[in-house]
Structure 1
Amino acid sequence: MRFNRLDLNLLVALDALLTECSITKAAERLNLSPSATSNALARLREYFDDELLVQVGRRMEPTPRAQGLHEAVRDVLVRVDSAIAIQPEFQPAQSDRVFRVFVSDYTQMVFVPHVLALAQAERCSARFEFLPQVSNPQRSLERGEADLLIIPRGFVSPDHPEEKLYDEEFTCVVWRDSALARGELSFDRYVAARHVVMQPPGSVGDSFEAWFVKRYGITRQVAVTSYGFSSLPPMVVGTDFIATVHKRLALQMQAAFPIELRAPPLPMPAMEQGLQWHKYRTQDPGLVWLRKLLHRAARAMDGEAG
């Protein structure tokens, strides 16, 4: 099919080429030979009268024209996928669909088991891929690489619909034989302590907890950084370190490690865990089903906690 003399199949090739910045990797993504992909690039260069990708050292870099095209092309492809490729109804017990959901390790530990249990109860045959939120997961949502984000609402994109899943409180975790486990955990002791914190991988941003603490003008003494939340409670064992983590996660860890929980000595409101999806996929029957399932899982989790 052609539009303004452009073979629309070439838009898929252009998206792959600009995403991978490599003919070989784009060919693998498209399930084509490198020569066929190279030929597609030549046709695209002719149509747009631009090199699109240029060799810089050992890698290829997009031209300014290509950079301007990429998001527009991705938007078109997501619209097409949303309008045409999605089935008119979703039967969980008969589906071979793959749901790609970006989550933190904390979410996988405390929330995802409830999701999978409910999916199993419905004999769901779809597959779930839980992917790490390593850097700017909103971009993956924009590009159609993720179906859903489960993320604190303070970090959601303003460009797409979102809703609250559940609230999560924070607690402080210390080794049960440490000095911090004896007596009151005062504000001064908290500030003076050495902290174990999570730093999001591939990002210079902060976790929700660290961001909030900074709002109070507190500079904590960081002893250890980790790329995941679930590693924080075990890391305080055998030390006088302290970690501030999600309460549900800390309660799980308390059953396995010699740790104690202490209320944070500063006002710390609950985190609102949010759910976000692409605006073009609001009516996608599969995602409508999955969003409802996630809300049921949140209610099940809250009921278990109660």
Structure 2
Amino acid sequence: MVALNALLRMQSVSRAADSANITQPAMSAALARLRQYFGDPLLITKNGRSTLSPLAQALSTPVSEMLRSIDESIIAQPLFDPAVSDREFRLLAADTVIAGLLAKPLQYISQIAPHLRLDITTPHGDITEKLDRGQVDLIIAPEAFCSSCHPQELLLEEDHCVIACAKNYGSEHLTLDQYAAADHVEVLIGPTREPYLPEYLFSTLGITRRIGVKLDNFSLVPFFLTGTTRLATFPGMTAELYRCFADLKLLDLPFELPGVRVVMQWHSRANRDPGLAWLRTRIQQHLPASHQEYRSRLYRLALETI
């Protein structure tokens, strides 16, 4: 199973051998036995390149999940000691969440668990698929983008607001007509490039937004607002983060939008993982207790960056 998983992931006998820490002849022999067992070539080589057969593609996810389940349920140690553990945790979160919410909890965690390793990535592709394939241990994202098939824990709830260039929007009040007439900056998420805020939320209000700038990265938004009359609509904490690094102001929405629920999500097979449970608890404990504390943290973050 280990050899099969390596071959399916690497699609190369030599790279699979390196991944499984065995010799190339041993991996070639394993592939020969697997081909005989399944009655299928599994790896098809053409013009010097190897691709997976249809059967191999179908086997990829269940084989990976089975091995990960064995690792977590049987091989993994039942106890977790943060003071000595050198385990690597793989987290997935938007760049603004990493900078604004996770930076402080992870700093604290590094002090009490100095040997832990963190592999932090931003969302690209299907985040649920990454969780199912065991490529991430913990997702921190809006509830709307998470799976209903795995457990989750609420981190915070917040309202949306409008972000604009401070020089070009002197008034504290934004009208519905101004909002509807403006160009907007939107972030597109996932492999299907879905807008962070679906357009149906606005169509029910009789508004058709003109998206002047489409981005795939939240941290780029401030650069396309400063010096323009464009608007962006994002959660309040994200907006506060933007304001630390650009001459922007926050405006109240001239209409109602549903708030955003930010959650932590993990795979159901990791429910009894003591290390992951410890990590979730520490993140929860060291989140900002209020918007005021959050703004204070961001101010210190901006000073450290400067």
Q: TM-score, normalised by structure 1?
A: 0.86
Q: Which runs of 4+ in 1 moved over 6 A?
A: none
Give the match for residue 4 of structure 2.
14
Which sits farther off after the overlay, 281-290 or 47-56?
A: 47-56
- Which deviations, in whole Å up to 9, do the C-alpha atoms of 1:204-232 show, x marking residues without a partner? 23243346645636432122122211221
Give the match for residue 40 of structure 2.
50
The reply to whether residue 138 of structure 1 matches residue 128 of structure 2 is yes
Give the match for residue 188 of structure 1.
177
Give the match for residue 298 of structure 2.
none
- Aligned residue for 1:239, secondary structure, equals coil
Give the match for residue 287 of structure 2.
298
How far residue 300 of structure 1 moved from its aligned partner, in angstroms, is 4.3
CA change 1:58–1:242 in 2 (3 A) is farther
- Write the distance in 1 (CA, Å) between the matches of 2:288 and 2:235: 18
- Which deviations, in whole Å up to 9, do the C-alpha atoms of 1:164-216 show, x marking residues without a partner? 111132221111122x444732222212211111122x622324334664563
Give the match for residue 7 of structure 1.
none
The reply to whether residue 230 of structure 1 matches residue 219 of structure 2 is yes
The correspondence for 2:19, drawn from 11, 18, 29, is: 29
- Write the distance in 2 (CA, Å) between the matches of 1:253 and 1:302: 14
The reply to whether residue 82 of structure 1 matches residue 72 of structure 2 is yes
Give the match for residue 111 of structure 1.
101
CA change 1:150–1:207 in 2 (3 A) is farther
Contact 1:174-1:181 within 8 A present in 2 as well:
no
- Write the distance in 1 (CA, Å) between the matches of 2:170 and 2:11: 53
The correspondence for 1:62, drawn from 52, 55, 64, is: 52
How far residue 236 of structure 1 moved from its aligned partner, in angstroms, is 0.7
The correspondence for 1:284, drawn from 246, 264, 273, is: 273
Give the match for residue 174 of structure 1.
164
Which sits farther off after the overlay, 242-251 or 31-40?
A: 31-40
- Write the distance in 2 (CA, Å) between the matches of 1:158 and 1:183: 39
- Write the distance in 2 (CA, Å) between the matches of 1:185 and 1:195: 14
Aligned residues: 294
Contact 2:43-2:51 within 8 A present in 1 as well:
yes
The correspondence for 1:252, drawn from 224, 238, 241, is: 241
The correspondence for 2:139, drawn from 146, 149, 155, is: 149
Give the match for residue 208 of structure 1.
196
Identity percentage over the alignment? 32
- Write the distance in 2 (CA, Å) between the matches of 1:18 and 1:211: 39
Point out where structure 1 has 5 or more consecutive residues left out of the alignment: 1-10
How far residue 56 of structure 1 moved from its aligned partner, in angstroms, is 5.1
- Aligned residue for 1:209, secondary structure, equals coil
Q: TM-score, normalised by structure 2?
A: 0.86
What amino acid is the match of 1:111?
L
CA change 1:105–1:301 in 2 (3 A) is farther
Aligned CA RMSD, in angstroms, stands at: 2.4
What amino acid is the match of 2:5?
D
Contact 2:16-2:27 within 8 A present in 1 as well:
yes
CA change 1:269–1:73 in 2 (3 A) is same
The reply to whether residue 273 of structure 1 matches residue 262 of structure 2 is yes
CA change 1:181–1:39 in 2 (3 A) is farther
Contact 2:165-2:248 within 8 A present in 1 as well:
yes
Contact 1:196-1:235 within 8 A present in 2 as well:
yes
CA change 1:302–1:175 in 2 (3 A) is closer
CA change 1:43–1:245 in 2 (3 A) is same
Contact 1:152-1:272 within 8 A present in 2 as well:
yes
